[in-house]
Amino acid sequence: MLRFIGKRLLASIPVLWGVTTLVFLAIHLLPGDPAELMLAESGGSAESIAYLRTQLGLDDPLYVQYGRFLLNTLRGDLGRSIFTNRPVLQTILEQLPSTIELALAAMLMAVVLGTGLGILAALNHNSWLDNICMAIAVAGVSVPIFWSGLLLILLFSSTLHWLPATGQGGLRHLLMPAAVLGFASSGTIARLVRSGLLEVLQKEYITTARAKGLSERLIFYRHALKNALIPVITVVGLQFGFLLGGAVVTETVFSRQGIGRLIVDAILWKDFPLVQGGVLLAAVTYTLVNLLVDISYAFADPRIRHDEL
Amino acid sequence: MKFVKSLDLVAMTLILILAAIACGPPSPTPTAVSAPAGKASPTAGGPALEGGKLIYGLTLTPSGIDPHVNASSELGIPLTSVYDTLVWQDLDGEFVPGLAKSWEVSDDGLTYTFHLRDDVVFHDGTPFNAQAVKFNLDRIADPATKSQKAVFMLGPYRSTEIVDDYTVKVHFKEPYAPFLDSLSQVYLGMASPTAVEKWGADYQLHQVGTGPFMMKEYIPKDHLTLVRNPNYNWAPTIFNHQGPAYLEEIEFRFFVEPATRALALEGGEADVMGEIPPHDAERLAKDPAFTLVPVAIPGQSLQFFLNTEKPPTDDLRVRQAINYAADKEAIVKAIFKEYSPVAHGPLNAFTMGYDESVVGMYEYDPAKAKALLEEAGWVDSDGDGIREKDGQSLKLEAYLMGWGYVPEVAQLLQAQLRAVGIEMESQVVAYPAALEAARKGKHNLIPFGLSSSDPDILRTFFHSSNADSGFNWSKVRDPRLDELLESGARTLDPDRRKELYAEAQQLIMAEALILPIRDYVNLNAAGAKVKGLRYDLRGWFPWLYDVYLEE
């Protein structure tokens, strides 16, 4: 197992390098100039734009800027934000807990709701209940987050005054954003659980179990559900990327702090070091989550033993 | 499997970036423009009550909030209450004593002498004196500060000379008329030298001024809390009382998404909120639980720059035709409701130096627009409703930003232009991309509007030195206009300045360098218990010192 983890960690290095390089190129090739953006707010002259470009080191050729970025990153220095002049790492770490809190809460919602809907649908296959469950799942996948977010705010904050519309701190602030984001993610899980269960329930070992005279409840929980959940674990890992992406919109609608909003703002203002640092950290997180998912297979299914890979 | 995941990673990254681009820019502050508030507060109330906490909703999360370093208008909303300035500007535009008791300007306009108050201390106990003034102005001018706004507001600054503990002389390389205006703004506010040196790059999280409120805590993108300065005893005459402020505490929170602003106010999550969408403002105005506080913001009107270097807008008659074809009344009424005045020139009606003669230069007159186009050789020869000349159809390219209702304005404008035979193709692009397109001159039309209390703002947008890089998006290179704008910045006599800027504004409109749309009015709203809320002459910055809560 340790060898497997070591190999996977080594393999992630080229991935991270590729991502950072791609992002570096993308953000620099996209139109726009940070000095110009800064001065658009204050109405600076051509002279002042040139002055600011020099101060910020933006006049250097791209390969010099890339080399500087790569060397500093290897030394663990993600640089300073162009706009705030504060260390990138510190800026991101300040925002990270809020996003992790949101992503984990949303994940929990998604798994509970998705699995519940999936089971209900599979057990009542081809009935009206199945249709309703799947309609909810489709809604989850297709309703845009900003819309469902505003709708919830309208209902629970504006009309009923039960929950605060914005900000953070405590469960009350977390409930709506997590529900919106979790709902969006639950649809995929529900469909997967349903189809997995339906498939497993056709298997011969279920027939065998029935023949042995086991109760339906036991068959379902011990034999069917456990096997049907294995693909779900993979999807949960992949959904984590979706949650990070969805956090951008959720954080904006609910005026929450977070790394999603931080990176999007940084992209819009062409704050190069902050974008590069933020994406690098997101990539590291995503890689680690997927590693955890792979490791967890071993627990869910003893047939999968990573040492043999 | 691994390969697939790596691809996902790349895809996620790209999606994040693409999503961000598609989302459009965060309504950046360069909304701008127009008219000072009435002097009486629409939230006037009974006798002031002490204490209580006010929650104030900000509309964008500034990237940085050190006024000497950063440029955002949003930072000034909280920090105007943290910093005092050497001079203040009252709502009539007169400069009144602040941390400086009095001042004189030398005859050549190169030296300002300030006599400072000797009874002022910073929140951290550091005494305010001549050394502090020199420290602050030198900090702004120091290239290492990487100032994005303050350094340019300081203009041709040469140095500060300490005459004695409470007298300083500020020297300039050439006369600079906007100096007092700059000095009265938070960007040139006086910060504690001790705190600046102690905190370095983290100073913005621990700012220390001499103002009526002290910074308690700033969690970026979440909240900023100010508490009352119990020792405050040097309020300028622009305020209605003396001594410490009424409010115990002010918490600023961020409401980036316009649709949530009125909701947050109605849900009791904020007591004051800025930039309410016009249709929500209509609703709040009818509700006795709230007071609508519309504040006009001086500076540019919201205007489209017409590129004089790209056909077909290189032809004066086409630019004039656009101005005659646009029904601005209809646009403003439909989108901004009754809250915004129609704009007529490059400066809005309440900016110092605004020249009234631009009103009526282009009344809505589609017939005249058609005549001008015909005179320029544009006729609809194939009957498709769009005019042609030499086989080319009359097509304009507009680059739009996603903020400030610009896309909605463009949609109405498109129909109005089509009615006289002009086709306008518009694309909404990300803010950085819009700025780049404008710099490269890819546009026929591109909108902008920046707030400013001094007409010198015109130099940024119409001086030829800013045509290739910079914000002269009409790409106008007119020696007479350059001369007017340069002498405007150098001339200290207010009447002479007015004449120079009047001629500049007439010239800009005679050449139809822009299509003005509306004067900017910031729609603030407050809960009914909030009393005494007023905004400064720039319209953005609230005077929270006088505000109190009535239960």
What CATH number did the domain enclosing B411 receive? 3.10.105.10
CB B284 within 8 A of CB B270: no
Mean pLDDT of B524-538: 93
Among the residue ranges A8-22, B39-53, B162-176, the one predicted with the least confidence is B39-53
Pair (B404, B529) in one structural domain: no
- Residue A54 pLDDT greater than 80, yes or no: yes
pLDDT band for B522, please (50, 70, 90 cuts): very high
pLDDT band for B19, please (50, 70, 90 cuts): very low
At residue B67, the pLDDT reads 95
What CATH number did the domain enclosing B220 receive? 3.40.190.10
Q: In A, residues 93-112, which contact B (CB 8 Å cutoff)? A: 94-95, 98
The single-letter code of the amino acid at B228 is R
Question: Chain-centre distance of CA B35, in angstroms?
Answer: 12
Q: Is the pTM of this model over 0.90?
A: no
At residue B475, the pLDDT reads 96
The complex's ipTM works out to: 0.72
Q: In B, residues 220-249, which contact A (CB 8 Å cutoff)? A: 220-223
Pair (B22, B55) in one structural domain: yes
CA distance B385 to B415: 12
Pair (B63, B188) in one structural domain: yes
CB B298 within 8 A of CB B34: yes
Pair (B257, B355) in one structural domain: no
Pair (B235, B368) in one structural domain: no
At residue B26, the pLDDT reads 36
Q: Which residues of B touch A292 (CB under 8 A)?
A: none
CA distance B144 to B139: 9
Mean pLDDT of A278-307: 76
Mean pLDDT of A113-142: 89
At residue B194, the pLDDT reads 97
Minimal CA separation from A106 to chain B, in Å = 18
pLDDT band for A305, please (50, 70, 90 cuts): low
Mean pLDDT of A288-292: 82
What percentage of chain A exceeds 70 in pLDDT?
96
Among the residue ranges A4-18, B18-32, B227-241, B434-448, the one predicted with the least confidence is B18-32
B358 shares contact with chain A (CB less than 8 Å): no
Pair (B238, B322) in one structural domain: no
- Residue B22 pLDDT greater than 50, yes or no: no
What residue in B sits closest to A242 (Cα-Cα)?
B12
Pair (B189, B41) in one structural domain: yes
CB pairs < 8 Å spanning A and B: 232
Among the residue ranges A31-40, A100-109, B358-367, B478-487, the one predicted with the least confidence is A31-40
Among the residue ranges A267-271, B171-175, B272-276, the one predicted with the least confidence is A267-271
Pair (B375, B273) in one structural domain: no
Among the residue ranges B56-70, B131-145, B384-398, B492-506, the one predicted with the least confidence is B56-70
Select, from the ranges A29-33, A39-43, B132-136, the one with the highest average predicted confidence (pLDDT).
B132-136
Mean pLDDT of B102-127: 96
Pair (B68, B211) in one structural domain: yes
Pair (B10, B137) in one structural domain: yes
Pair (B206, B262) in one structural domain: yes
- Residue A231 pLDDT greater than 90, yes or no: no
Q: How many domains does chain B have?
A: 2
Pair (B55, B161) in one structural domain: yes
Q: What is the mean pLDDT of chain A?
A: 84
Pair of tokens at residue A236 = 């949960």
Higher pLDDT, B121 or A119: B121
At residue B40, the pLDDT reads 62
CB A296 within 8 A of CB A2: no
Mean pLDDT of A11-36: 85
Mean pLDDT of B234-250: 95
Q: Quote the domain boundaries for residue B393.
A: 302-519
